[in-house]
Amino acid sequence: MIPTNEVALIFRGWAESKLRLRVIFKGSEIIFSAYCTVFKANDGSVVFAVSGDETNLIEFLLVGCACEFTDAEEGEDTLPFGGTIESAIVVGRPGYALTVCLLKDEA
């Protein structure tokens, strides 16, 4: 497990680099996924910009969550709508899980 303050540092680095991500939120009654970037992060939350600007933001609270880092398994690293996963951070608590996938730079 990774402490949430360390996860916030990783997210801040991804925000500064404007890295392309795929977030997948799975709750008891909802599944949501989108391509995005990190808009901002602090020890208590992370905010994703879905359209690449400040008009479409989604915030997730990190307080009380368990976090872990994982590398993508070969053969399970390709997304159905394009992109290849390099690694991921899974943030969870009872009732939901947020998977933040760092995508490989295909340029």
Percent of the chain with pLDDT over 70: 87
Q: So what's the pLDDT on residue 81?
A: 67
What is the pLDDT of the chain when averaged over all its residues?
Answer: 87
What is the token pair recorded at 59? 């915030």
Q: Is the pLDDT of residue 52 over 70?
A: no
With vertex at residue 67, the alpha carbon angle to CA 66 and CA 70, rounded to the nearest 5 degrees, is 145
What digits encode the pLDDT tens for the residues 64-96?
999 999 887 665 666 666 678 889 999 999 989
Q: So what's the pLDDT on residue 43?
A: 86
Walk me through the domains of the chain, giving residue ranges and CATH numbers.
4-103 (2.30.29)
Q: So what's the pLDDT on residue 9?
A: 95
Helix (H, G, I), strand (E, B) or coil at 44: coil
Beta bridge partners of 68: 90
Q: In whole angstroms, give the CA distance from residue 29 to residue 92.
A: 15
pTM: 0.87
What digits encode the pLDDT tens for the residues 38-48?
999 998 899 99
